[in-house]
Chain A
Amino acid sequence: SQQGEEDPQALSIQEGENATMNCSYKTSINNLQWYRQNSGRGLVHLILIRSNEREKHSGRLRVTLDTSKKSSSLLITASRAADTASYFCATDGGGTGANSKLTFGKGITLSVRP
């Protein structure tokens, strides 16, 4: 079953605006990750936040994690047309061996209008 559930499913904004995407999950995690996918391409890892962290920045990206609410948000500031893509959150339960895997949400489609 899907662990991460992103919200909204689709988001359309004007270039220069900020984009906020949310992810909720159900079970305890070791870390949460965000990925980006351009149409017809593989996923690219954006950022990882550990369960003991509350906020993390990387360039124009800001990720927050609230383990009490089992939720995370990804903020892209000053969006650009090139940010148009699908964004996925993925939860890592921290298992080893046979439990070594991520669980991905269904993704958010972000469209940035020039």
Chain B
Amino acid sequence: SQTIHQWPATLVQPVGSPLSLECTVEGTSNPNLYWYRQAAGRGLQLLFYSVGIGQISSEVPQNLSASRPQDRQFILSSKKLLLSDSGFYLCAWSVPYAGGGREQYFGPGTRLTVT
């Protein structure tokens, strides 16, 4: 069966410090991968998605970047965190589109607080 891991679960970082959040998927190959951010009491904002190794699509201009160095690994990074980067970060995966619809499967999330 497929599982998705995210770490760390919680993170408190000072403004200006770097960030690296990691997401890995097990039990599937060539998944589509997604990074979302959820502000307190708000909906999900899609940040990045990837349909293959080294292929990254950015949804909004921001202080963050993403990379996919391996098929089932997705990394969210920042060189210098801003206060506005605080939030709940969710990684998700789905099977590549095959005409039948694509559910997304979410990881447990990382709560980031920038102080």
A residues sitting closer than 8 Å to B (CB atoms) are 2, 30-31, 33, 35, 40-45, 48, 50, 88, 90, 92, 94-98, 100-107
CA distance A114 to B8 in the complex (A): 34
Q: Specify which of A94, A95, A102 is in contact with B104 (CB 8 Å cutoff).
A: A102
Binary contact track B84-112/A, C-beta < 8 Å → 1, others 0: 00001010101011000111111111010
Chain A residues contacting B57 (CB-CB under 8 Å) are 98
Interface size for B (C-beta < 8 A) is 26
6 shortest A-B CB distances, which residue pairs?
A42-B106, A106-B43, A31-B101, A104-B44, A45-B103, A43-B106
Known: A101-B49, A105-B43, A107-B43. A48 touches B90 (CB 8 A): no
How far in angstroms is the closest Cβ of chain A from B9? 10
Chain B residues contacting A33 (CB-CB under 8 Å) are 101, 103-104
What are 15 A-B interface contacts by the 8 Å CB criterion? A31-B101, A42-B92, A42-B107, A45-B105, A48-B101, A88-B44, A96-B97, A98-B51, A98-B57, A100-B32, A102-B46, A103-B46, A105-B43, A106-B43, A107-B43
How far in angstroms is the closest Cβ of chain A from B69? 20
